[in-house]
């Protein structure tokens, strides 16, 4: 099977999982699915030893913590009431006043708009939350997969370049502080571990996107050489 296909499928699975876990406080249905499918024990990407420990901790937390434990931790970290322990918006981490809706929010909005996407609550809530940024990357990964299946390497390359730019200019810039804040303030191993998995995956993603683009460039050069000789 095409190696890029396997990588894209794995990336899509991880983005979908992370986006789902950061989107809302967990419900009973999600907890049941996590315990049945055990996505942390069967993670589709091999990450470093520290992340493997985080994944094991998350898997164990599903039986050690109640649904209410997890819901309360999520609320205290990312929603409130009261001061959030780990605000989930990029803009908070990228200005000295720690305010939402700054120029970085507009830059994220421009990325979405270039790909025909708009936040459904635009101007009502910031669209630079971790869940929405992960959802954006998930949608682009779906499109990369479609481009590969349609044998359109140019579209594939453009989408990968856009993902690489978004990771470099946004996700890798602000998430280190968000991750540290979550790891030090989470009340459960589940959300502390989730932060560690996010860190490990984004570092892997940075390296993998570079390798994928190098592979496509080499493939394109080889194709040009073959055409020149024909």
Rounded distance between C-alpha atoms, residue 153 and residue 156, angstroms: 5
Distances (CA, A) of 34 to 42, 117, 186: 11, 29, 19
**What is the model's pLDDT at position 223?**
59
3-state secondary structure of 129: strand
Average pLDDT per consecutive 10 residues, the chain (230 residues; last block may be shorter) = 91 98 97 96 95 96 96 96 94 90 90 88 78 97 97 96 98 98 98 98 98 88 55
**What is the model's pLDDT at position 211?**
96
pTM over 0.75: yes
**What is the model's pLDDT at position 118?**
84
**What is the model's pLDDT at position 217?**
86
3-state secondary structure of 89: strand
**What is the model's pLDDT at position 38?**
96
**What is the model's pLDDT at position 219?**
79
């Amino acid at each position: 099977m095409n190696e890029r296909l396997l990588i894209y499928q794995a990336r899509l699975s991880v983005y979908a999982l992370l986006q789902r876990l950061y989107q809302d406080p967990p419900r009973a249905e999600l907890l049941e699915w996590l315990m049945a499918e055990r996505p942390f024990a069967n993670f589709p990407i091999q990450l470093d030893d520290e992340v493997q420990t985080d994944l094991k901790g998350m898997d164990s937390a599903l039986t050690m913590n109640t649904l209410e434990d997890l819901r309360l931790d999520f609320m205290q970290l990312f929603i409130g009431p009261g001061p959030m322990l780990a605000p989930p918006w990029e803009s908070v981490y990228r200005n000295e006043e720690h305010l939402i809706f700054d120029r970085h929010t507009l830059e994220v909005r421009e990325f979405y708009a270039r790909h025909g996407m708009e936040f459904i609550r635009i101007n009502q809530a910031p669209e630079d939350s971790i869940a929405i940024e992960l959802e954006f990357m998930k949608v682009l990964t779906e499109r990369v997969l479609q481009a590969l299946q349609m044998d359109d390497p140019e579209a594939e390359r453009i989408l990968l370049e856009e993902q690489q730019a978004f990771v470099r200019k946004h996700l890798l810039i602000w998430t280190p502080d968000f991750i540290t804040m979550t790891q030090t303030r989470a009340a459960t191993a589940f959300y502390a571990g989730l932060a560690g998995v996010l860190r490990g995956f984004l570092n892997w993603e940075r390296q993998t996107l570079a390798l994928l683009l190098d592979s496509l460039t080499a493939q394109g050069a080889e194709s040009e050489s073959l055409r020149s000789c024909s």
